[in-house]
């Protein structure tokens, strides 16, 4: 049986020393030791190639992907919020404008209505005034016609009743008297 370095260090008493005893008891020997070393290193190498490297790379890739997704989501969220506020702003502005428009329209309508009303009132007043004027004129005309007619009738009647021809002076006096009576 071949022994290990530690054993060689123990000197020529290879078969008697305590290390030799241990080596013999536990069946330690070079070929087995070396082949197991090689086997373990091969396993470690293969695992490194097959498992650790791809898995750690995959984990890194996934970490990056998730981070990116999160970032994207964050960005989208921010954009969405921004859009939302913008939309609200636009809506509020539109609302305000619409209200302003309505108010303006109301104001305009009110003004127009007032002006129209005033015009109509003015017109009506004008019509009434004109009508009154016309009526007054008619009445005056009828009154004067009536006066002259009544005066003539009074003179005629007086002449017939009294049987005398009335002078111009009398006629005038009669007419004035009648008009005075009528006016009263």
Partner 1 sequence: MNFRRFLLALTLFVALPFPTLFGAEEATAAESASAGESHHGDGHKEKHHGLPKTAPILFHGIGGDPESGKVGPLAVTNSMVVMLIVAAGIILVAQLATRKAKIIPGGLQNFVEWLVESLYGFFEGVLGAHMVKKTFWFFATIFIFILFSNWFGLLPGMGTVGWNVDSTGHVHEPLLRGVNADLNMTLAMAAIFMVLWMYWCLKEIGPGGVVGHIFAVKGHGSGFFGIFLVVVFICVGVIEIVSIGVRPVALTFRLYGNIFAGENMLESVMMMGGLYLGWLAVLPFYLLEVLVGLVQALVFALLTSVFTALMCEHHEEEHSH
Residues binding partner 1 (CB under 8 A): 1-2, 25-37, 39-44, 46-48, 50-52, 54-56, 58-59, 61-62, 65
Report the nearest approach of partner 1 to the CB of residue 98 (Å): 51
In angstroms, give the least distance from the CB of 45 to partner 1: 8
| Identity of the residue, 26 or 168, whose beta carbon is nearer to partner 1 in the bound complex | 26
Minimum distance between the CB of residue 52 and partner 1, rounded to whole angstroms? Answer: 6
| Cα distance between residue 26 and residue 17, in whole Å | 14
To the nearest whole angstrom, how small is the minimum distance from the Cβ of residue 9 to partner 1?
11
**Is residue 33 within 8 Å of residue 4, measured between CB atoms?**
yes
Structure tokens at 129: 């005034």
By beta-carbon proximity to partner 1, the closer residue of 37 and 128 is: 37
Place of tokens 């021809």: 165
Percentage helix, strand, coil for the chain under 3-state DSSP, each rounded to 5? 90, 0, 10
Nearer to partner 1, 59 or 128 (CB): 59
> Alpha-carbon distance 13 to 27, whole Å?
18
């Amino acid at each position: 049986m071949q022994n290990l370095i530690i054993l060689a260090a123990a000197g020529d008493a290879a078969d008697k020393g305590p290390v030799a005893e241990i080596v013999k008891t536990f069946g330690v020997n070079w070929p087995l030791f070396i082949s197991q070393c090689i086997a373990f290193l091969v396993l470690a190498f293969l695992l490194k190639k097959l498992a650790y490297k791809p898995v750690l790379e995959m984990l890194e890739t996934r970490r990056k992907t998730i981070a990116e997704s999160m970032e994207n989501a964050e960005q989208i969220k921010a954009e969405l919020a921004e859009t939302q506020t913008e939309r609200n702003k636009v809506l509020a502005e539109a609302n305000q404008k619409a209200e302003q428009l309505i108010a303006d329209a109301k104001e305009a309508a009110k003004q127009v209505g007032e002006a129209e009303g005033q015009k109509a009132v003015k017109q009506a007043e004008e019509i009434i005034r004109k009508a009154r004027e016309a009526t007054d004129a008619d009445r005056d005309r009828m009154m004067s016609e009536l006066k002259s007619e009544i005066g003539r009738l009074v003179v005629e009647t007086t002449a017939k009743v009294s049987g005398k021809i009335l002078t111009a002076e009398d006629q005038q006096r009669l007419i004035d008297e009648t008009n005075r009576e009528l006016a009263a």
